[in-house]
Amino acid sequence: MFIFLILAITGVSQFIVKGSYIELEQQQALKDANGMRVLIESDLKSLGVLNVDYAIWDDSYEFIVSRDEEYAKSNLITETFESNRLDLLVYVDSSGEMVYGAMYDENNGLNVLSGSLPEFLSFSNCLTAPTDPNCISSGFVNLEGGLLLISSCPIKKSNGDGPVRGTLFMGRFLDSDELYYLSEGTGISIDLLSPNDPQLPPGIWNEDSSGIFIETVDEDMLAGYYSIHDVFGTPAMVAKTRTPRSITKQGSETLYYFILLLLFVGFALGFYLMFFLDSTVLRRISIISDDVQSIGKSKDFSSRLHMGGNDELSLLSDSINLMLQQLERKHEYVLSHKAKDSAILKAMPAMLVQMKPDGTIISRNCPQYGDLTFLSSMDINNIYDILPEDAAKLARRRIQDIIRSKELGFVEYNFPFGDRILNFESILLAYGEDDVLAIIMDNSHRKDAEYALVQAKLQAEAASRTKSEFLANMSHELRTPLNSILGFSEVMLEGTFGELNEKQRKYVGNIHVSGRHLLGIVNDLLDISKVESGTMDMSYEKVVVWEVIGYVRDLIDPLATKKNISVNVSVDPEDISINADRGKLIQILDNLANNAVKFTPDNGDILLSVRISGEYIDFFVRDNGIGIAKEDMRSLFMPFVQVDSSTSRKFGGTGLGLALVKKFAEMHSGYVQVESTEGEGSTFTVSLPSEREVGTSLSNEQK
């Protein structure tokens, strides 16, 4: 009977109330649709007001005639489009010619229009009657980029006087950003649909004069439509808003709660009985809460809760006891680590000082060994009291910098101690609001070792200079007899002292070739010793790169021809010139080219090329010879070192050629790079600065 009564009341309520709810929802949907229409029309109206503000203005009036660039720089800028939400701005004079036109979007920025006037602006009667002072018009234009709100206004003086000098068009796309701007604060959602969109209900274009059409979408939503015609009278777009059917839901919820009320009255006795049960549970929960609070205050994590039974509350008590057990272990772990940290601080030789910015010491450790032990027995309240005056000033300044930057800082200073001068280094770290942690270390022994290393380095450099001077002197002494040997052997080969038989000519030829080879070695020794001793002179002049490359090609041509090696040359552009030491540049390229010929098999290819790379000119020597192994790259440019002893026996050489190439390139403020694959060939690249003052002559030592 009770259930039947509830069902009867529910049916009557649904019959009476539901029709009223539906009518209210229709009214709300119509209100939202009209609000959407007002928002769109207000947006178009605000565009017209903005257009009038710019069109009826003395500066715009003068701009049509003068086309002043200052007007464009001040007004026709990105900020004007962004602040006024404009997407189109076009100035047209009275003859219909476009004076200025631009479209804007946030991705591509400002795009100035050129050519003839856009065709979609022909709607305005200001173009058909250019002198009409009252030809203000506005509307919608459907473009490829979306629905455009468009407004036109005659350009006149600020006081409204004429004559009219042209027309100003302003446009604003009704895109998602503009719809969000219109919807913000009103609670009305707006979507745009194409006139041919299949989502549109039938009969949408047969609406009343207001252009509003209401549709029931489903049990949760109503839709309101506002049809928009463009300036030419054709359907352009349909605006759609959604109205939730919340009134029906609220009515249903009201009935639901009404039924719940009836149920509550019917089952009041049952709830009364449950009250006693809840009271019993709450009492046990209160006991658990009191015990937990007591443990929290005492911080005695060894305490445990005692709750009997076999229900949820007893399980909760067991879980709390498990948590207390884990907290007890963590607490013991923290205490043990604090004791360990304290022992480490006592044992470490460095002093850790926690202090304020003014030097007041908050805490510190006491080193038990090392040169800092004397500080352990001192009663120190302020770190600046024990520092020398200059060290104290430096520390104050660095501490302030560290507090501001919150970064690590370092301070190094000397500290007088007895008959010694100790060198201390402090690492400073800011933490908290303005506290500083200083780690003070004794660097005296390290400084002594550094000084000893510097002295040893100076002695080694002096010995190296002595060696280089000795090599230079010996090379100079060897050149005199070698020149005599070469001269006499050449005279004998020419037959000046009589004809030689074939055997004599062969032996004298061997003497001449060996002498020239030995002279080359002596010259390399002399050059490397001059470079190392700082006596090598550099004479810079303007050098035509093509001439140098051709000269080097001629030098290696006999040996290349003998091995049937093709030597190719490429200079891009051909008129490159460089300020360099001509002789050194030729020697660099000749050494690299000779190596390329030497290590390239018969019938191979060699390329000498030059190109400009930024502020450098790159010289390339590329071959397809035996290549260089990766493990030999590191020692490639070291003097007297060849990558493989078998290579030295097979091809000859002293290992000085590439060392001189690297030295000469560095003396030009350049550098050398190499790329090589074993068995495929190598490419050496010499990069020299393209600009240098001509006519200078510097020794390596001066450089």
Q: Alpha-carbon distance 61 to 165, whole Å?
A: 7
194-198, 570-574, 607-611, 681-685 — which is least confidently predicted? 194-198
Q: Are residues 155 and 66 in the same domain?
A: yes
Q: How many percent of the chain have pLDDT more than 90?
A: 17
Is 399 within the bounds of a domain?
yes
Token duo for residue 127: 């173009």
Q: Alpha-carbon distance 304 to 316, whole Å?
A: 12
Token duo for residue 351: 């002093």
pLDDT in tens, 199-217: 888 777 765 556 788 887 7
Token duo for residue 371: 């040169």
pLDDT in tens, 412-466: 666 665 656 666 666 776 766 667 777 776 666 666 677 778 888 787 667 666 7
**pLDDT for the residue numbered 578:** 94
Q: How many percent of the chain have pLDDT more than 70?
A: 73
pTM over 0.85, yes/no: no
**pLDDT for the residue numbered 696:** 43
Q: State which residues form the domain around 406.
A: 348-442
Give alpha helix (H) positions in 158-299. 176-183, 246-266, 268-298
Is 271 within the bounds of a domain?
no
Q: Alpha-carbon distance 563 to 381, whole Å?
A: 86
Q: Are residues 504 and 622 in the same domain?
A: no
Q: Are residues 506 and 433 in the same domain?
A: no
Q: Mean per-residue pLDDT for 570-589? A: 92
Q: Are residues 554 and 690 in the same domain?
A: yes
Banded model confidence at residue 283, pLDDT cuts 50, 70, 90 = confident
**pLDDT for the residue numbered 125:** 62
The mean predicted confidence, pLDDT, of the chain is 78
Coil, helix or strand for 31? helix
Q: Are residues 70 and 104 in the same domain?
A: yes
* Amino acid at position 681, single letter: G
**pLDDT for the residue numbered 592:** 93
Q: Are residues 591 and 665 in the same domain?
A: yes
Q: Mean per-residue pLDDT for 70-79? A: 89
Is 311 within the bounds of a domain?
no
**pLDDT for the residue numbered 211:** 75
Q: Alpha-carbon distance 219 to 355, whole Å?
A: 71
Coil, helix or strand for 242? strand
Cβ contact 144:67 at 8 Å: no
Q: Are residues 512 and 561 in the same domain?
A: no
Sheet holding 212-218, edge to edge: 191-193, 235-244, 221-229, 212-218
**pLDDT for the residue numbered 695:** 39
Coil, helix or strand for 450? helix
Q: Are residues 570 and 471 in the same domain?
A: no
Banded model confidence at residue 10, pLDDT cuts 50, 70, 90 = low
Q: Are residues 690 and 549 in the same domain?
A: yes
**pLDDT for the residue numbered 690:** 84
Is 553 within the bounds of a domain?
yes
**pLDDT for the residue numbered 547:** 94
pLDDT score of 82 more than 60: yes
Measured N-to-C along each axis, helices 657-667 and 502-533 cross at an angle, to the nearest 10 degrees, of 40
267-276, 313-322, 489-498 — which is least confidently predicted? 267-276
Buried b (16+ CB within 10 A) or exposed e, 52-89: bebbbbeebbebbeeeeeebeeeebeeebbeebbbbbb
**pLDDT for the residue numbered 138:** 84
If one counts every other C-beta atom within 10 angstroms of the C-beta of residue 656, the result is: 21
Cis previous bond, 573, omega within 30: yes
CATH number of the domain bearing residue 567: 3.30.565.10
**pLDDT for the residue numbered 68:** 86
**pLDDT for the residue numbered 618:** 96
Token duo for residue 180: 């969000």
Q: Are residues 545 and 518 in the same domain?
A: no
CATH number of the domain bearing residue 403: 3.30.450.20
pLDDT in tens, 392-404: 777 778 777 777 7
Banded model confidence at residue 230, pLDDT cuts 50, 70, 90 = confident
**pLDDT for the residue numbered 697:** 43
Is 679 within the bounds of a domain?
yes
Q: Are residues 551 and 687 in the same domain?
A: yes
**pLDDT for the residue numbered 621:** 96
- Please name which of 572, 561, 649, 571 lies closest in space to residue 608, comparing C-alpha atoms: 571
pLDDT in tens, 460-496: 667 666 766 666 666 666 666 767 677 767 777 777 7
pLDDT score of 19 more than 70: no
Q: Alpha-carbon distance 682 to 379, whole Å?
A: 71
Token duo for residue 699: 């020794």
Is 488 within the bounds of a domain?
yes
**pLDDT for the residue numbered 688:** 95
Give the residue from 442, 465, 486 where a domain finishes: 442
| Measured CA angle at 582 (ends 577, 588), to 5 deg | 100
Q: End-to-end CA distance of the chain, in Å?
A: 115
Is 356 within the bounds of a domain?
yes
pLDDT score of 701 more than 50: no
pLDDT in tens, 216-225: 778 778 888 8
pLDDT in tens, 529-545: 777 666 678 889 999 99
Is 340 within the bounds of a domain?
no
Q: Are residues 511 and 429 in the same domain?
A: no
Give the residue from 180, 203, 227 where a domain finishes: 180
Give the residue from 525, 556, 580 where a domain finishes: 525
More confident residue, 71 or 282: 71
**pLDDT for the residue numbered 57:** 93
Structural domain tally of the chain? 4
pLDDT in tens, 351-394: 777 778 787 887 777 776 566 666 666 677 777 777 777 777 77
Cα 597 versus chain centre, distance: 46
Most confident range, picked from 84-88, 122-126, 247-251, 262-266? 84-88
**pLDDT for the residue numbered 681:** 93
Banded model confidence at residue 702, pLDDT cuts 50, 70, 90 = very low
